[in-house]
Chain A
Amino acid sequence: MSGLAVLSGAVIAYQIILMQLLSIVQWYHFAYMIISVALLGFATSGTLLVFIRSWAVRNFNNLMPLLMITTGLLMGIVVFGSQYSGIRFDSYLIFSAGSQVLRLLFTYLLFFLPFFCAAMAIGLTFIKEAGSISRLYFVNLVGSGLGGVLALVLIHVADPASLPALAGLLAVTSGLFLIKNRQTFHKILGGLSVCILLGLVFYPPQITPSQFKSISKTLNLPDSKILWQKNNPHGFVQLVTTPALRYAPGISLTFHDPVPTVEGVFVNGNWYGPLVKKSGASKENIFKYMVKDLPYRISNPANVLVLDAGTGWDIEHALVSGAARIKAVESHPLLPELLENMKVDWLHDERVSYIVSESRSFLRRDTLKYDLIIIPTLNSFGGNSGLNALEEKYLLTREAFSEMWNKLSDEGSLTITTWMDYPPRYPLKVLASISGMLSAAGVENPDAHIIAVRSWSTITFLVKRLPVKSSEIQRVLDFCNEMMFDAALLPEGNAKSRMTYNILQDDDFFDYLDQILSPETRYQFLDKYDFKITPATDDRPYFSQFLKLKTLPRLTADFSEQSLPYFELGYLIVVLTLSQILIAGFVLIILPLLKIGWKGVNRGFTFFYFGAIGIGYMFVEIVLIQQMTLYLGSPVYAAAFVITLLLIISGLGSYHSARISAQTSGLIKVIAAIVLLLLIYTFILGPVLELTLTRSLSVKLFLTLIFIIPLAFLMGMPFPVAITYLYSSSGLQIPWAWGVNGYFSVISTVIAIIISVEVGYSMVMVGAAMAYFGALIAYVSVTGFSKMLRR
């Protein structure tokens, strides 16, 4: 039992570790892919056990330690195998080189191996001790839950490259306890594995980020070196210095002074911001020549709020512009330590308060009003191929904009800058979000409150609480003429020439802006435009997701197939992964079972019931993680907390399910209760969380427990009770049950992502309710509802 718990914990810890490593190597954590490949391992093991069941049970004592030790060894080595140049895939190249699709598949299959071995061990235990399935499932789930917590601890204390081997050591340990005295080979293998893994812990091979990631390119510059680095679940922070790194995004062409060099901060290999150590004349000068100086050109904001402050660029800008009080909010907890270590002088400036918090949580609980609220610059120079399509951005939702509007002082303003892109997407979505915010606030003439100024590469929007004054309009025009910027939007049509200094070959861009600004044409334009530029919401917080599937044929005609991935690489990779998973799952799980034939009674029940609960459970997990991300203020901790809680409480439910006989109506009531709870949560969970968002963390954690415990407890029961039912009626269906459940769990993770992107998380919750309802129907139809009621 303890071996099972430790192995289960190692598996979950390994999943979370892989997510972190992929975040560093690729551009995204690929959480859905990791969860899918883990579940694929479980499901495939179920299929294999169909074929070798008798032999495996007979050789249980030999196989178990072998499988556990092999799991651990594979955990340590496959990550580095995936870095081998012949196999390694690069998400940036995935649509430009056909071989990358194969490499993705190889990587997928490599990661599959340790999960498969672990699943074989766990599945074999379930089969051998099927009579105690409830207790075993409990141990499995509790162990898994604790594994999530362990992963977070390990990420805090260990180098990222050492993490896979640490998880591997855990798995190997679980196997070592089972070795009997006579099993010499096992002892040797165990010993060797421990030595190899310890070697990998203390002398880890290098984890190499994609050559296209910012940090890779920066490290290619002359005399570059990493000055500081530290890891934590929020991301791996690195500070790089090189004399060739400069930062002055979109600076005016009238700037003739030298652009100072900076040090670069990277999180998971992605550019996070320049390190502004010391104030100086050159830096003061630079800010004046940027479009982002717009708010300071038309007013003198005293109280400034900088959201997602990062490394302090906007803080420094506010300081040199004369702000009296600056509150800066940054979510990454390692940033203050980095800034202290690098002796950044503004950190101790009495005018600056640097707070570690997730921005939305801060907005809810902070009671002050501000003269200027600054949102960090969106997108990147030249765009990023839609890589951030799946990134949840709660600071850019309709609800967030409303909260920011309400935090403005009477004469306050909100500013947001984005890089220009082509075809236009980011600037249009920003304007749509701002316009929506003003409409929601009851502002009848939004164009009187908005200014937009464009340089050759960026555009800055400024939204004022009060209508823009004539004197301010003149200051904007003076700013533009001085800096060779162009006013893209000014009240009362004062932007007479929108292309004086920076010509756009396709000037339809301005027509789009006007259509969005006008309440009469806005909704029609948003509906008809080829990209998704309707404002993001908390239910669908994917600001950077622009793809409309229905316009794909037209975009293909305009830009050719080869160009399309570069618009929406992130989202298209999800679709590609789904295709691969559907096929891989079918080949590894279903096909072998078909080969032996699907015999026996209750086949339909097995398929529909176990498929449905597989879908339902994963849908619930994905939705809860999303809801708690905003609520608890940290995506990483929310994910770990939800997964741990779900698994442990489901484990308790599984343990308790031993009292439920499959021959009574008990399970019907359980599933009906799950469906009811899910439907209730669809409507009330969001509003309750929103209402209590400003409460203390302990209150929020308590409320989270209140919501998750009953649901998770109940969700732990359907699987073991139905397995017991199959065991009593026909054990032949059990491998199929395991395989079908695994297959649908595998694909549902990806499907949940797609549904949430297309229609929002609420619909995923509804989907979960429908799935459990489907399971209910399947169960009732095979057992007979009326018969159950009589018992």
Chain B
Amino acid sequence: MYNTFYYLVLFLSMFSLFQDRYGEFRKKMVSEQIELRGISDKNVLKAMRNVKRHFFIPQELRNRAYYDGPVPIGYGQTISQPYIVAYMTEIIDITPNSIVLEIGTGSGYQAAVLAEITDEVYTIEIIPELGDAAKETFNDLGYNHITSKIADGYFGWEEMGPFDAIIVTAATEFIPPPLIGQLKLGGKMVIPVGSPMQVQSLMLVEKNALGKVKTRSLFPVRFVPFTRH
């Protein structure tokens, strides 16, 4: 019995050490990749510290979970670079009462980050394998207030709208008209623009109080060319 107890303690110690390792990586990720780059919203920083990013990544790639870049998750999709996730979360300016829609659940990481801030997160994924895997991860990690479905994101989620914010992570060459319709007055939509493995800019769509929309291209990393000097 003593031996059993000994091995149990040893196992738990190793396990927590292992988990601590990821915890340390996560803290370092937030301080070096996110805070240092200008993300200052306390809710966003807290969310990024809380969400265990490594659980949203395939087992064989978990050693890269807190790496400063995107990681492939299969089906031609990636989990976005942590900084981009934080940037997008900050830019849509959500509060605990916000209703948020995400088009393109992917790994589910973005939805989890949003769920740390607000209680109503809706997420749509068109690829069943990805959507199901993300849902399982939400359940495992206790994100019970994320509502997900497998569907064509083009149509948005009308019955749950309108939304204070919409994040469209599924690559699209146009902004689906239904999504603009489901955005509240004063709401914000953000669309990452980039190649499969790198987001280079973000498109922010803002709907004012009169229902007019404007777009704004945001560049998370500023280019300073020679010609400026």
Decide yes or no whether B117 CB sits under 8 A from chain A: no
Q: Count residues on chain B whose CB falls below 8 Å from chain A CBs.
A: 50
Query: Are B197 and A566 in contact, with the CB atoms below 8 A?
Result: yes
B45-53, B72-80, B94-102 - the one binding chain A: B72-80
Residues of chain B from 185 to 225 with CB closer than 8 A to chain A in the complex: 192-201, 203, 205, 213-219, 221-225
Interface centre among A423, A525, A529, A551 (most CB of B within 10 A): A423
* B39 close to A (CB within 8 Å): no
Q: In whole Å, how far is B23's beta carbon from the nearest beta carbon of chain A? A: 24
Q: Which residues of B contact A250 (CB under 8 A)?
A: 173-174
What sequence of 0s and 1s flags, for each residue 59-85 of chain B, a beta carbon within 8 Å of any chain A beta carbon? 000001000111110111000000000
Bound Cα distance from A249 to B193, whole angstroms = 13
Closest B residue to A502 using CB positions: B215
Q: Contact: A504 with B217, CB < 8 Å?
A: yes
Query: For A259, what are the chain B residues with a Cβ–Cβ distance below 8 Å?
Result: 154, 174, 176-177
What is the 8 Å Cβ interface bit string for chain B, positions 114-152, against chain A (1 contact, 0 not)?
Answer: 000000000000111000000000000000000000001
A493 to B152, CA, bound (A): 44
Partner of A457, one of B71, B173, B181: B173
Contacts of B69 in A (CB 8 A): 96, 562
Interface residue from A244, A249, A382 paired with B200 (Cβ < 8 Å): A382
Query: B74's closest neighbor in chain A, by CB?
Result: A211
CB pair A515–B227 under 8 Å, yes or no, is yes
Name the interface residues of A483-522: CB closer than 8 Å to any CB of B. 484, 501-506, 508, 512, 515
Whole-angstrom CA separation of A220 from B226 in the bound complex: 43
Among residues of B, the one whose C-beta sits closest to the C-beta of A555 is: B223
Whether the pair A212, B76 counts as a contact (CB closer than 8 A) is yes
Interchain CB contact under 8 A, A258 and B177: yes
Complex Cα distance A97/B71, Å?
9
Contact residues on A (Cβ < 8 Å of other chain), bracket: 35 or more
Is A559 a contact partner of B197 (Cβ separation < 8 A)? no
* CB closest chain-B residue, reference A530: B225
CB-CB contacts of B32-57 with A at 8 A, as 1s and 0s? 00000000000000000000000000
Partner of B216 from the list A255, A503, A525, A559 (CB cut-off 8 Å) is A503
The residue on B at minimum CB distance from A216 is B76
Assuming the A-B contacts A457-B203, A504-B217, are A382 and B195 also in contact, with contact meaning beta carbons closer than 8 angstroms in the complex? yes
How far apart are A249's CB and chain B's nearest CB, in angstroms? 4
Q: How far is the CB of B165 from chain A (nearest CB, A)?
A: 17
Rounded to whole Å, the gap between the CB of B104 and the closest CB of chain A is 12
User: In the complex, what distance in Å separates the CA atom of A416 from the CA atom of B225?
Assistant: 26
Asked if A421 is at the interface of the complex by the 8 Å CB criterion, the answer is yes
* B193 / chain A contacts, CB cutoff of 8 Å: 381-382, 422, 457
Name the A residues within 8 Å of B64 (CB-CB): 97
Residue of B nearest to A381 (CB): B173
Decide: A563 and B76 in contact? CB cutoff 8 A. Answer: no
Question: Which of A221, A246, A384, A515 has the most chain B CB atoms inside 10 A of its CB?
Answer: A246
A381 contacts B171, CB within 8 Å? yes
A350 contacts partner chain B, Cβ-Cβ < 8 Å = no
Judge if A595 is at the interface, Cβ distance under 8 Å: no
Residues of B within 8 A of A502 (CB): 214-217
Is A217's beta carbon under 8 Å from chain B? yes
Q: Which residue of A lies closest to B202 (CB)?
A: A505
Task: Determine if A253 is an interface residue (Cβ-Cβ < 8 Å).
Answer: yes
Please encode chain A, from 631 to 648, with 1 for each CB lying within 8 Å of some chain B CB and 0 for all others. 000000000000000000
Chain B CB within 10 A, most for which of A211, A213, A512: A211
The answer, yes or no, to whether A222 is at the interface (CB within 8 Å) is yes
Residues of A within 8 A of B222 (CB): 506, 558
CB distance from A706 to the nearest CB of B (A): 45
Within 529-570 of A, Cβ neighbours of B (below 8 Å) are at 529-530, 551, 554, 558-560, 562-563, 566
B111 at the interface (CB under 8 A from A): no
Q: How far is the CA of A246 from the CA of B154 in the complex (A)?
A: 9
Give the CA-CA distance A383 to B197 in the complex, in Å.
11
Q: Are A92 and B197 in contact (CB under 8 A)?
A: yes
Are A382 and B194 in contact, CB atoms less than 8 angstroms apart?
A: yes
Q: Which of A216, A222, A247, A508 contacts B228 (CB 8 A)?
A: A508
Q: Given A484-B213, A501-B214, answer yes or no on A558-B223 (Cβ-Cβ < 8 Å).
A: yes
How far, in whole Å, are A166 and B40 apart by their CA atoms in the complex? 61
- Contact status B76-A256, CB under 8 Å: no
A212 to B64 alpha-carbon distance, docked (Å): 19
Of all chain B residues, the one with the shortest Cβ separation from A564 is: B198
In the bound assembly, the distance between CA atoms of A244 and B155 in angstroms comes to: 10
Question: Is B72 touching A385 in the complex (CB atoms < 8 A)?
Answer: no
Given contacts A221-B126, A529-B225, contact A383 B200 (CB under 8 A): yes
Bound Cα distance A415, B221 (Å): 31
Q: CB-CB < 8 A to A97: which residues of B? A: 64, 72
- Bound: A498/B47 CA distance, A: 38
Give A528 to B228 CA distance when docked, in angstroms: 10
Does A444 lie at the interface of the complex (its beta carbon under 8 Å from any beta carbon of B)? no
- B175 at the A/B interface (Cβ < 8 Å)? yes
CA of A601 to CA of B86 in the docked complex: distance in angstroms? 68
B180 at the interface (CB under 8 A from A): yes
Given A249-B173, A528-B227, A211:B75 Cβ within 8 A: yes
In the complex, residue of chain A having the shortest beta-carbon distance to the beta carbon of B200: A422
C-alpha gap A530/B70 in the complex (Å):
25
- Chain A residues with Cβ below 8 Å from B217 are 420, 422, 456, 502-506
In the bound assembly, the distance between CA atoms of A456 and B70 in angstroms comes to 25
Taking CB atoms, residues of chain A closer than 8 Å to B171 are 217, 381-382
Q: State in angstroms the CA–CA spacing of A502 and B212 once bound together.
A: 12
0/1 string, B154-189, CB within 8 A of A gives 1: 100000000000000001111111001100000000
Which of chain A's residues has its CB closest to B153's CB? A244
Q: Do the beta carbons of B223 and A248 come within 8 Å of each other?
A: no
| A96-B81 Cα distance, complex, nearest whole Å | 12
**Complex contact B221–A93 (CB within 8 A):** no
Min CB distance, B212 to chain A, in Å? 8
User: Is B226 a contact partner of A528 (Cβ separation < 8 A)?
Assistant: yes
Which residues of chain A from 726 to 771 have any CB-CB distance to chain B below 8 Å in the complex?
A: none
Cα(A96)–Cα(B74), bound, Å: 15
* A249: nearest chain-B partner, CB-CB: B173
On whether A385 and B197 interact (CB within 8 A), knowing A253-B180, A558-B222, the answer reads yes
User: A337 on the interface (CB 8 Å rule)?
Assistant: no
Q: Which residues of B contact A258 (CB under 8 A)?
A: 177
Answer yes or no: A257 CB below 8 A from chain B CBs. yes
B226, chain A: closest CB distance, angstroms: 5
Chain B residues with CB below 8 A from A243, complex form: 152
Q: Does A389 contact B (CB under 8 A)?
A: no
With a CB–CB cut-off of 8 A, which chain B residues contact A530? 223, 225-227
Asked whether, in the complex, the Cβ of A217 is within 8 Å of the Cβ of B177, the reply is no
C-beta contact mask, A251-264 vs B, less than 8 Å → 1, else 0? 10101111100000
CA distance A382 to B199 in the complex (A): 8
Which residues of A lie under 8 Å from residue B126 when comparing CB positions? Answer: 221-222, 244
Give Cα A381–Cα B214 distance, bound, in whole angstroms. Answer: 19
Contact present for A253 and B197 (CB under 8 Å): no
Q: Give chain B residues whose Cβ lies under 8 Å from the Cβ of A508.
A: 225, 228
Q: How far is the CB of B88 from chain A (nearest CB, A)?
A: 14
Among B71, B172, B200, B224, the residue within 8 A (CB) of A558 is B224
**List of A residues within 8 angstroms of B205 by Cβ:** 253, 456
Cβ–Cβ contact A244 & B227, under 8 A: no
Is A384 in contact with B195, judged by CB distance below 8 angstroms?
yes
Among B128, B174, B227, the residue within 8 A (CB) of A529 is B227
**Sample (21) of A-B pairs whose CB atoms are under 8 Å apart:** A96-B72, A211-B74, A211-B75, A244-B126, A246-B154, A247-B173, A249-B174, A250-B174, A259-B174, A381-B171, A384-B195, A420-B217, A421-B200, A422-B193, A423-B225, A502-B215, A505-B216, A558-B221, A559-B221, A559-B223, A566-B195
B: residues with CB less than 8 A from A are 64, 68-72, 74-76, 126-128, 152, 154, 171-177, 180-181, 192-201, 203, 205, 213-219, 221-228
Q: For the complex of A and B, list the 10 residue pairs with the smallest distance between their C-beta atoms, beginning with the closest.
A: A566-B198, A456-B215, A423-B223, A385-B195, A503-B216, A211-B76, A212-B196, A248-B174, A382-B193, A217-B76
Besides A559-B221, A559-B223, 5 new A-B residue pairs in contact (Cβ under 8 A), listed by A number? A97-B72, A259-B154, A422-B200, A456-B217, A505-B219
